[in-house]
């Protein structure tokens, strides 16, 4: 799987939906750098959530317009911008008709489990935004770009934590003497993770019914911030969330260590998940695009490189902190979520490796540089945003407004 420059003269056009977000921005730049023609579709709602909840990225980020202007001035490469909501089918249709993508990478969803568990209206918003948005993308492909390959970001959380090995999308079962290969059982544990399950079902159905070609990337938890491209200029900086709503485990622990806050291990800390470096997110998406699914094929890849429990992550960050002279403490926080805290976990993840993925495993040097990065920006940390504030059990129909 070579880069686009090496493989053909006419660049492949890739629409990056959600291209202003954490994974999407890094991916858009990476694909543009590799010679793909890239368009970003985003309604900037993620920036609005920050304003509404009083949160901010650890790293300062400039507007999407400044970002793409800076990219152009540094590299000469153009990234087209379509600012709008993919739940608005008229807007999405115009973007498809004007850009005519060969592949659509879909990152454009509400992606926080805690956000989806704040109250009824956020739960409904999350499922509406994610499920209807994805349905619209499927209809746009059918109507305007039948050959377009959908590369959809799913989540490892679709599978939950079953007491057997997790396969890549499908499992072969023998029942009453008959055998079939069936979708792997789904046991998601938030309204957000459930939205991804619903998406997977809708995508699988349209592959069968309409011959759509799709790859569902069941991604694990992403960590890290710098990629080759975002490191080129401060105006290309990626966002880095550390708060209790949008921050993810390892990224949060690094910021906590940098500011001297005890690491927030929820409950017993045996929760085990698949993790990957953001530099591997961009690599995996490129591999999926360069090796498209066949018409009518619904492929599922488990996109992570290593498994860790929360306790293991806390230990790694404590050791890396000690090397930098940081005294890192850990504190068990009552678990705000409903999830197994001690469980079996063994998930397959070979399909992307077979396509050529060369993982950046979590090493001492990466942890050192992430911690150093967090230390560099520690004056921007709002300590009040660190503890979790959303409870799975206490959520209800009553709107929750944030007070100071």
Please pick, from the candidates 1, 45, 204, 355, the single residue that binds ligand NAD as defined by CB under 6 A.
45
Question: Could you say whether residue 130 binds ligand USQ (CB under 6 A)?
Answer: no
Site for ligand USQ in 336-375 (CB under 6 A): 337, 339
Considering 22, 115, 192, 223, which one is annotated as catalytic? 192
Q: Do β-strands 149-155 and 103-106 pair in parallel, antiparallel, or remain unpaired? A: parallel
Question: Could you say whether residue 145 binds ligand NAD (CB under 6 A)?
Answer: no
* Six token digits for residue 328: 């890192």
Considering 36, 196, 281, 305, which one is annotated as catalytic? 196
Cα separation, 335 vs 331, whole angstroms:
12
Element (H, E) at 315: helix 310-323
Please pick, from the candidates 34, 67, 273, 299, the single residue that binds ligand USQ as defined by CB under 6 A.
273
Segment lying near ligand NAD (by CB under 6 A), choices 2-10, 67-75, 102-110, 290-298: 102-110
Please pick, from the candidates 12, 13, 34, 46, the single residue that binds ligand NAD as defined by CB under 6 A.
46
Least distance in angstroms from the C-beta of 187 to ligand USQ: 11
* Residues contacting ligand NAD: total by CB under 6 A: 27
* Six token digits for residue 228: 């080759």
Q: How many CA atoms lie within 13 A of 111 on its CB side?
A: 25
Residue nearest to ligand USQ (CB): 157
* Six token digits for residue 237: 């900086």
* Six token digits for residue 306: 């290593």
Please name the residue that has the structure tokens 């998940």: 273
Phi, psi angles (nearest 5°) of residue 135:
-60, -45
Torsion of CA 54, 59, 60, 61, to 10 degrees: -100
Site for ligand NAD in 235-254 (CB under 6 A): 248
Please name the residue that has the structure tokens 């920036």: 47
Residue 109 binding target from ligand NAD, ligand USQ, none, CB below 5 to 8 Å by type:
ligand NAD
Nearer to ligand USQ, 95 or 123 (CB): 123
Cα separation, 158 vs 130, whole angstroms:
14
Where on the chain is the footprint of ligand NAD (CB under 6 A)?
18, 20-24, 42-46, 85-87, 107-111, 129, 133, 153, 155, 219, 221-222, 248
Residues with catalytic roles:
155, 192, 196
């Amino acid at each position: 799987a070579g880069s686009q420059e090496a493989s053909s003269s006419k660049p492949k056009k890739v629409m990056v939906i959600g291209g202003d977000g954490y994974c999407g921005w890094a991916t858009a730049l990476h694909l543009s750098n590799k010679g793909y023609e890239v368009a970003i579709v985003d309604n900037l709602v993620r920036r609005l959530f920050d304003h509404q909840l009083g949160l901010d990225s650890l790293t300062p980020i400039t507007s999407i317009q400044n970002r793409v202007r800076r990219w152009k001035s540094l590299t000469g490469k153009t990234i087209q911008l379509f600012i709008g909501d993919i739940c608005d089918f008229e807007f999405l249709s115009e973007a498809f008709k004007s850009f005519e993508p060969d592949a659509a990478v879909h990152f454009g969803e509400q992606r926080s489990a805690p956000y989806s568990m704040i109250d009824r209206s956020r739960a409904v918003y999350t499922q509406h935004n994610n499920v209807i948005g994805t349905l619209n993308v499927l209809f746009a492909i059918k109507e305007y770009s039948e050959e377009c390959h959908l590369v959809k970001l799913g989540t490892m959380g679709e599978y939950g934590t079953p007491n057997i090995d997790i396969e890549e999308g499908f499992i072969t079962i023998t029942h009453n003497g008959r055998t079939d290969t069936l979708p792997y059982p789904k046991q998601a544990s938030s309204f957000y993770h459930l939205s991804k399950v619903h998406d997977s079902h809708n995508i699988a159905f349209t592959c069968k019914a309409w011959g759509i070609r799709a790859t569902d990337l069941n991604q694990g938890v992403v960590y890290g911030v710098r990629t080759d491209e975002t490191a080129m200029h401060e105006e290309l900086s990626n966002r880095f969330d550390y708060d209790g709503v949008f921050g993810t485990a390892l990224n949060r622990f690094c910021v906590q260590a940098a500011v001297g806050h005890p690491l927030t291990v929820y409950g017993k800390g045996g929760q085990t998940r698949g993790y990957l470096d953001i530099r591997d997110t961009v690599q995996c998406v490129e591999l999926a695009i360069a090796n498209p699914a066949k018409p009518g094929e619904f492929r599922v890849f488990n996109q992570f490189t290593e498994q860790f429990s929360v306790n293991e992550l806390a230990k790694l960050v404590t050791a890396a902190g000690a090397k930098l002279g940081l005294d890192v403490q850990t504190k068990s926080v009552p678990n705000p979520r409903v999830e197994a805290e001690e469980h079996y976990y063994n998930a397959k993840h070979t399909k992307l490796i077979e396509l050529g993925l060369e993982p950046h495993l979590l090493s001492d040097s990466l942890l050192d540089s992430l911690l150093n990065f967090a230390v560099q920006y520690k004056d921007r940390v709002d300590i009040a945003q660190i503890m979790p504030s959303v409870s799975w059990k206490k959520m209800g129909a009553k709107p929750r407004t944030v007070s100071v």
